Amino acid sequence: MASKKIWFSLFDFSFDYKGSEAPFQVPSDFNWALDFENNYEQLLLEWQQFMELRSPKPYFKDSMVDKKDAYQTISLRWWDLEFRKNRRYFPITTALLLRYPEITTLSFNFLAAGAKISPHCGDTNAIFRSHFGLQIPAQAPTCGLKVNGIEKSWTKGKWVIFMDAYVHEAYNSSEEDRIIILMDVLRPEFKKKRNWICSVVFTSLFIQKRATYFTFLNRLPKGILYTMAAMLIPFSFLSRKCLNLIRYY
């Protein structure tokens, strides 16, 4: 039985989620999965055309990766913050994104050859993280991911869907780069709490990003961090709404 209680890493300093969800989900259980698979060639082409014009940006938590700038992303939606300027490079991907409102995050993710993302837990159990293979240079144990101790391979044009809250890691020991589409899909039982979920996670990521520059934040007592988060969550909600309204990104 999957957990009905929403968990956030922001409020659990153990960083070790103990849930009842299966580590991996069956892609055919999701109505959007086949739609993306049927458009694999076009989605790959959009990425290739984008790379001829621009480059993705390194993920802000560079401590997660064992090589500098080895993990890069370009977002079309990030916890309901809309990146409309990026979408002009990805019309087919954008059409799919807008077709399925349960998608809270969609980005293209680049993992360089010979790089590894260290074990870490996700921000919440309220979503299923979903990886769609675009350019997959090898199979596990050369290139793959491990979730809650279970190892899986990516496959071109197919999905790997997992519970992001569990400790997981990704690695690419091949000599070529790995490219995926990463999506976070809201679990249907939490649909009515979407704004709150995205606001809490957005707050968590905001604090994590600041902590990369101001490392003392990592040493603050739990009570101070809880108070800080409580103050920032409403601001997170309002700032996303305002930024979306003025089409800032």
Supply the CATH number for residue 136's domain: 2.60.120.330
Same domain, residue pair 13 and 125: yes
Identify the domain boundary among 190, 205, 222: 190
Identify the domain boundary among 143, 173, 190: 190
Give the 3-state secondary structure of residue 201.
Answer: helix
Same domain, residue pair 213 and 167: no
What string of DSSP letters covers 98-146?
Answer: HH-TTEEEEEEEEE-TTEEEEEE--SBSSEEEEEEEEE----TTTEEEE
Task: Report the amino acid identity of residue 116.
Answer: K
Quick one: pLDDT at residue 217?
A: 73
Half-sphere exposure of 137 (CA within 13 A, CB side): 17
Whether 230 is in a domain gets the answer: yes
Identify the domain boundary among 166, 190, 214: 190
Residue 147's domain comprises 9-190
Same domain, residue pair 26 and 113: yes
Domain tally, the chain: 2
Quick one: pLDDT at residue 3?
A: 64
Mean pLDDT of each 10-residue bin along the chain, 249 residues long: 81 82 96 97 97 88 85 96 97 98 97 95 96 97 96 97 96 97 97 96 86 74 82 93 94
Same domain, residue pair 174 and 207: no
Whether 47 is in a domain gets the answer: yes
**β-pair partners for 152:** 145
Same domain, residue pair 225 and 104: no
Whose tokens are 């969800």? That residue is 21
Whether 4 is in a domain gets the answer: no
Whether 202 is in a domain gets the answer: yes
Instruction: For residue 79, give every residue at least 6 positions away whose Cβ sits within 8 Å of its Cβ, in sequence order, or none.
Output: 104, 105, 184, 198, 201, 202, 205, 240
Same domain, residue pair 139 and 205: no
Same domain, residue pair 159 and 110: yes
Same domain, residue pair 17 and 53: yes
Whether 122 is in a domain gets the answer: yes
